[in-house]
Amino acid sequence: MLSDFLQFTTSGLTTGAIYGLLALGWVLVMRVSGLLYFIQGEFVVIGVFVIVVLQEHGWATWIGGLAAIATCVVLALAVDGLVMRRLRHPTPMSEVLVLLGLALLFGLALQNIAGPNARLMRGFLPTKPIEFFGAFVTPHQILAVAVGAVTTLLVWVAITKTSFGQAMQACADNVEGALLVGIKPMRLRTLGFVGAACIGGVAAIVIGPLAAVEPLGGLLLGIKGFIAAVVAKWTFLGAVAAGVLIGLLENYGAGYISSVYKDVISLGLLVVVLLVQGAVAGDSSMGMRIRLRLAAR
Amino acid sequence: MRPKGPAPREQAVKFDDREADRPDVAQPAAGLAATPMSSLGRIWVRVPQKGVLAAAVIVLLLPQLLGDDILPSMILAGLLGIAAVGLGLLAGRAGLVSLGQAALMAVGGYSAAYAAVRWDWPAEAALLFGTFAGLVVAWVTSPICRLRGFYLATATLTLALIVQRLLVAFASLTGGGNGFPGIPPLSLFGYEFNSEFRFYVLVWGVALLGVALNDNLLRGRFGRALDTIHGDEATAAAAGVNVGRYKSAAWLISGGYAALAGGLYAYYNLFLSPDQFPLSMSIELIAGVVVGGAAAALGPLVGMVALVVIPTRLDLGPSVSAMIAPALLVIFASFLPRGIVPHVRDLSDSLLRRVRG
Amino acid sequence: MSGDSRSQAGPILSLRSLSKGFGGLKVFSDVSFDIEAGTVVGLIGPNGAGKSTLIGCVSGFLRPDSGSVKFEGSTITGIAPHTLCRAGVTRTFQHAYLLSHLSVLENVLVGCHVRARCGQVRALWRSRAVAAEEAALAASAMEALNSVGCAHLAHQKAGSLTAGQQRLVSVARALSSMPRVLLLDEPAAGLNESETTRLADALRSLRETGLTLLVIEHDIRLINAISDHLVVLADGGVIMEGEPAAVCAEPTVIKAYLGGLHAQ
């Protein structure tokens, strides 16, 4: 009984750490640009595939990890420079469609390049599971949670303590004032994209040994992160907490009820939350985005 | 760039919606010359009815010109086109971008299939039942259409994912991952659709009829109401439009089209499975609307043909073909947001002007 | 144009003890005043006094924290805007929000929405009744355009108009719903001299037809020229109301405006 609960909790925390990382990326991009970063999930998947392919060719995992992060950053910059900045008549809807289309496109392209099969990364930590109270946890799972916590802390410090973070807060609160002080929203935006890409790469390193990842799985992963961000109303720490919560809920649901309904739980939660939040008109992120767009012209 | 309106109602929950009927119905003031109909002709989009006829002719002639092997992809384009026509009303005119249209197709398809196979209903009844089931699901999910912008897109996207998983979960009803086989070939009122060409004519007949009906509906105050809602909901409300009701109406109509398309799809394929309605199909549908021309009557059909038929003709193979739709969506949403039809129309207008001198 | 100014037993619009706050910040409280039918009432006050919020409460866009609004004797607090429009209370916004890709006439036709009587289903087969109604509505839309002096713009694309013209068209759109009370939120904002004069003329001629107007404005000259009665909203409440000349001379009013508008 207890061992079951502990087992579900460990899996839940691990999955939750991943979702939390994804949510972090979503909130970061939303805060600096008002965009729904559907390609957040793609970073994770592409990152995993990069590492796996490099591993297969004999490269060390840490090189693979760096390559994964680099690939994601390049991709994010390419999307920003080639597409997002060139949008004619950028309405919120067109940006959503563009990012969604790109997310699907990346997944399909990956499938074309690397084949449709899921890939599992070779572990880089000892694989012997540790037992406690009848439940098992592997070092990779502990790493996932640890990395999640550390990354969250780093991002939190960056947002609240550094000048970049303060610039970002300023931008979100008062664009005209921010411009006066010399902050460039577009540059901030790009930094945000790069940050999200790095987070995606890190998440790839951590998720790789834990679960096999499909080329088309990026969208769903990304959406889980989105769910967490929406539930937490686009706050950083809240989103991470929500991600962990979703991971726990999914695993409890899968364990105690049925694995078939695993996704339905979190997806259903999203719809309910959206309806409840949407009923209260005037969400701040819309306002943020509009103000940012006004300034960037 | 759309400026923000005044703060909307903070408590958008239930309130007394007492209808205060006007005691005197205002009539246009007497003594003023009524504007003749002909000068009003400029109000409405000129093309559709003639365009529909022209499209019908093209559709009938196409197999003659390009050979019968174009039929399967054109049928698929037509089936998706029916759903796209509904989406054109919802997303194109009203601005409610739904990424769950494929889910409603699945509902319509599976319901029709269930009625046909498990209850032995004739096709006419099964198709009606499928459409009805789609309308019921649309009605149940209609609170979603009250959401704005990207929240709506994400909620509908999530709906699509949920429906797909539910189809797998309720295996006893739907056959789950193994699919739902055994749908009988289509025969309506004694007429058997036993050839591709017959099915092709049926599908495109329905599609073009849908375009014509939609266009009629959208010409008058329904279309204006949707346009205003698309522009700014507060303005629409102040002008007397019951925003919620019109959004729900658009949502239901779009759902009906999708469900009908799904039902016909079931009768074409004779086999259904959940992975025939993936998220990418919803994205393909919205791509078709955007690429063809979101606000144009024939836009969605043109878009679906572009997205379905061209990759097949180019013989790119399934995995590369799947990338065409999202790629075109990205390109058009970024650089050509109005879509093909308005640009073509502008081009032909300027050519005509140049010819006339 | 609008209904006759029947001798009502009371004012056409009356506000009683309206209070509104957002998230702990009180915008105004205990606002009460009456508007007599067929008059033009100007609502003035410094920026941020809550004039637009007040209009929002009256027109159904906001729910007041307390108090009530009565229209022709019936309480209308909390009724949805579209229902109010049907009942005869219409408002305009500070921005015109015209559909720029449609013609001016089509934009004004939007306002006729509440007056259409034909069921929508008949539109599916283009029934003659629907076509006839559309023609009739178009005629009255032209008339509304006429009354604001914009009839010559009827077939131009709304996006090609100047700000002033767009504002006038939005007034025409509000008029085409045949309201009995029209709430105008800063109709002269951003208009130049000639446009403001044209607006003033239009508003004056509307008053001749018996329409009741509540106008928020900063332009003192315009407000004085057209109003029968002024209400001053400042410091969270009504500080003064009365004849325009008297109100503008009042020291408390001038003090409330110091640093705000140009003096007369």
CATH number for the domain spanning A229: value is: 1.10.3470
Alpha-carbon torsion (C67, C72, C73, C77), positive or negative: negative
Question: Does residue B149 sit at the A interface (CB-CB below 8 Å)?
Answer: yes
Residue B103 corresponds to which tokens in the numbers above? 């889910």
Of B176, B135, B183, B142, nearest to B159 by C-alpha is B142
| pLDDT value, residue B79 | 96
The whole-angstrom distance between residue A87's C-alpha and the CA centroid of its chain comes to: 24
Q: Which pLDDT band, with edges at 50, 70 and 90, does C125 fall under?
A: confident
- Kindly state the tokens that stand for C114: 């509440």
Tokens of B175: 């056959």
CB contacts under 8 A, B 29-88 vs C, are 29, 32, 34-35, 37, 39-40, 42-43
- Residue A154: phi and psi, rounded to 5, are -60, -50
Could C79 and B237 be called an inter-chain contact, meaning their C-beta atoms sit closer than 8 Å?
no
Buried b (16+ CB within 10 A) or exposed e, A255-275: beeeebbbbbbbbebbbebbb
Contacts of C105 in chain B (CB under 8 A): 43
- Is any Cβ of chain A less than 8 angstroms from the Cβ of B140? no
Q: What is the DSSP string of B269-316?
A: HS-B-GGGS-HHHHHHHHHHHHHH-TTSSSHHHHHHHHHHHHHHHHT-
pLDDT range class, residue B78, cuts 50, 70, 90: very high
Residue of chain B whose Cα is closest to the Cα of C178: B26
A223 vs B contacts (CB less than 8 Å): 154, 157-158, 161
Residue A94 is predicted with a pLDDT of 80
CA distance A176 to chain B (A): 16
Tell me the shortest Cα–Cα distance from B230 to chain C, in angstroms.
9
pLDDT value at C69 more than 50? yes
When pLDDT is cut at 50, 70 and 90, the band that residue B41 belongs to is very low
> Which residue in chain B is spatially nearest to C92 when comparing CA positions?
B238
Chain A residues touching B1 at Cβ < 8 A: 293-294, 297
B275/B239 Cα distance (integer angstroms):
44
When CB atoms are compared, the residue of A226, A271, A277 closest to B159 is: A271
Residue B1 has a pLDDT of: 34
Range of the domain at A55: 2-296
pTM: 0.85
Q: How far apart are CA A216 and CA A224, in angstroms?
A: 14
Which of A96, A105, A267 comes nearest B153 by C-beta?
A96
Alpha helices in B67-195 (DSSP H): 71-87, 101-117, 123-140, 149-169, 171-174
Mean pLDDT per segment of 10 residues, for chain A of length 297 residues? 85 93 92 85 94 89 90 93 74 81 93 87 81 83 91 88 76 65 75 92 91 89 89 88 91 79 77 72 41 42
Q: Do B228 and C138 touch (CB under 8 A)?
A: no
Q: How many CB pairs under 8 A join A and B?
A: 143
The answer to whether residue B34 scores a pLDDT higher than 80 is: no
CB B333 within 8 A of CB A97: yes
pLDDT value of position A38:
92
Q: How far apart are CA B210 and CA B217, in angstroms?
A: 10
Query: C75 — phi, psi (to 5°)?
Result: -70, 130
Nearest-CA neighbor of B228 among C101, C116, C88, C164? C101
Q: Do B151 and A274 touch (CB under 8 A)?
A: yes
Residue of B nearest to C102 (CA): B43
Contacts of C91 in chain B (CB under 8 A): 238
CB distance B6–C131 less than 8 Å? no
Q: Which of the residue ranges A43-47, A253-257, B276-280, C231-235 would you say has the lowest mean pLDDT?
A: A253-257
State the Cα–Cα distance between residues B309 and B325, nearest whole angstrom. 11
Number of independent structural domains in chain A: 1
Predicted pLDDT of residue A20: 95
Mean pLDDT value of segment B282-306: 91
Residues B17, C110: C-beta atoms closer than 8 Å: no
CB contact under 8 A, B326 and A105: yes
Better-predicted residue by pLDDT, B317 or A114: A114
Q: Would you say residue C188 has pLDDT above 90?
A: no
Residue B44: C-alpha distances to residues B223, C74, C105, C137, C144 (Å): 10, 40, 11, 14, 20
Q: Which amino acid is at B161?
A: L
C-alpha separations of A292 from A35, A185, A230, A274, A286 in Å:
11, 7, 20, 23, 10
Q: What's the number of CA atoms in the CB half-sphere (13 Å) around residue B108?
A: 32
Q: If we measure between CA atoms, which residue out of C182, C178, C152 comes closest to residue C165?
A: C152
Which range among B2-16, B319-333, C134-148 shows the weakest confidence by mean pLDDT?
A: B2-16
- Do B129 and B111 contact (CB within 8 A), yes or no? yes
Backbone angles phi, psi at B41, to 5 degrees: -55, -25
Q: Could you give the percent of chain B with pLDDT greater than 90?
A: 39
Q: Which DSSP symbol is given to B68? A: G
**Which residue in the block uniquely carries the two structure tokens 């970002």?**
A168
A touches B (3+ CB pairs < 8 Å)? yes
pLDDT value of position A149: 92
* Lowest mean pLDDT, pick from A55-59, B45-49, C122-126: B45-49
Mean pLDDT on B270-275: 90
DSSP assignment of A102-152: HHHHHHHHHHHHH-SS-B-PPP-S--PPEEETTEEE-HHHHHHHHHHHHHH
Cα dihedral B81/B87/B89/B90 (nearest 10): 180
Q: Which of C98, C126, C178 is closest, CB to CB, to B26?
A: C178
Q: Do chains C and A touch (3 or more CB pairs under 8 A)?
A: no
Tokens linked to A196? 């999200």
Cα–Cα dist A45/A39, whole Å? 10
Q: Which residue has the higher pLDDT, B181 or A290?
A: B181
Provide the 3-class DSSP secondary structure of residue B223. Answer: helix
| Distance separating alpha carbons of residues A260 and B170, to the nearest angstrom | 10
Q: Are A119 and A54 in contact (CB under 8 A)?
A: no
B28-40: b or e for each residue (b if 16 or more CB lie within 10 Å)?
beeeeeebeeeeb
Of B150-164, C117-131, C161-175, the one with minimum mean pLDDT is C117-131
Span C70-90, average pLDDT:
89
Q: For residue A97, give the nearest of B13, B169, B286 by CB distance.
A: B286
Residue with the bigger pLDDT between A74 and B337: it is A74
Burial label, A179 (beta-carbon count in 10 A; 0-12, 13-18, 19+): middle
**C-beta atoms of B283 and A101 within 8 A:** yes
pLDDT for A90: 63
Residue B155, number of CB atoms within 10 A of its CB = 26
Mind listing the pLDDT tens digit for each residue in B59-77?
999 888 888 888 899 999 9
Model pLDDT, residue B13: 18
Report whether A215 contacts A116 (CB < 8 A): yes
Question: Which residues are bridge partners to C44 per DSSP?
Answer: C232
Mean pLDDT on B138-159 = 85
Tell if the CB–CB gap between B20 and C80 is shorter than 8 Å. no
B74 to chain A, closest Cα gap in Å: 24
Query: Do residue A267 and residue B162 have CB atoms under 8 angstroms apart?
Result: yes
Judged by CB atoms closer than 8 Å, whether chains meet at C61 and B225 is answered as no
pLDDT at A171: 67
A104: which chain B residues are within 8 Å (Cβ-Cβ)? 279-280, 283, 326
Q: How confident is the model at residue B289 (pLDDT cuts 50, 70, 90)?
A: very high
- CA distance linking residue B242 with residue B191, whole number of Å: 43
pLDDT reading at B250 higher than 60 = yes
Higher pLDDT, A7 or B261: B261
Which of the four pLDDT bands, split at 50, 70 and 90, describes residue B295? confident
Task: Provide, as residue numbers in chain B, all residues whose Cβ is less than 8 Å from the Cβ of C210.
Answer: none
Mean pLDDT of C161-173: 89
Which residues of chain C make contact with B224, given a CB cutoff of 8 A?
106, 109-110, 113
The Cα–Cα gap between A125 and A140 comes to 7
pLDDT at C21 over 50: yes
Record the tokens describing residue A178, joined without a space: 């921010």
Q: Which of A205-209, B149-153, B326-330 has the lowest mean pLDDT?
A: B149-153
Residue that is written with structure tokens 């940006």 in the block:
A95
Please report which helix (H) or strand (E) contains residue A154, including its range. Answer: helix A139-161
B165 and A263 within 8 Å at the Cβ level: the answer is: yes
- Tell me, what DSSP letter sits at residue C177? T
Residue in the structure block whose two tokens are 């522009």: B231
Interface mutation target, options C20, C52, C97, C104, chain B, most CBs of B under 10 Å: C97
Distance of residue C248 Cα from the nearest chain B Cα, in angstroms: 28
Determine the pLDDT at residue B346. 83
Secondary structure percentages of chain A, helix, strand, coil, to 5: 80, 5, 20
- Provide the phi-psi class of C88: left if phi over 0, else alpha when psi is between -120 and 50, else beta: left
Tell me which chain A residues have a C-beta less than 8 angstroms from the C-beta of B177.
Answer: none
Does B330 contact A109 at a Cβ distance shorter than 8 Å?
A: no
Nearest CA in chain A to B284: A101
Query: Which residues of B, range 268-287, sit inside 8 Å of A by Cβ?
Result: 279-280, 283, 286-287
Reply yes or no on whether the pLDDT at C158 is more than 80: yes
- Spatial strand order of the sheet with C25-35 comes to C25-35, C13-22, C66-71, C74-75
Q: What is the ipTM of this complex?
A: 0.86
- How close B128 gets to chain A, by Cα (Å)? 29
B335–chain A Cβ distance below 8 A for any pair: yes
- Render the burial of B58-77: b for 16+ CB within 10 Å, e for the rest: ebeebbeeeeeebbbbbbbb
CA distances from B226 to B231, B263, C224 (A): 9, 27, 39
- Cβ A101–B329 below 8 Å, yes or no? yes
C75 φ/ψ sector (left φ>0, alpha ψ -120 to 50, else beta): beta
Contact B20 C56 (CB under 8 A): no
Average pLDDT over residues C177-195: 87
Contact check, Cβ <8 Å, B240/C102: no
The residue count for chain A: 297
Mean pLDDT of C2-11: 57
pLDDT of residue B25: 19
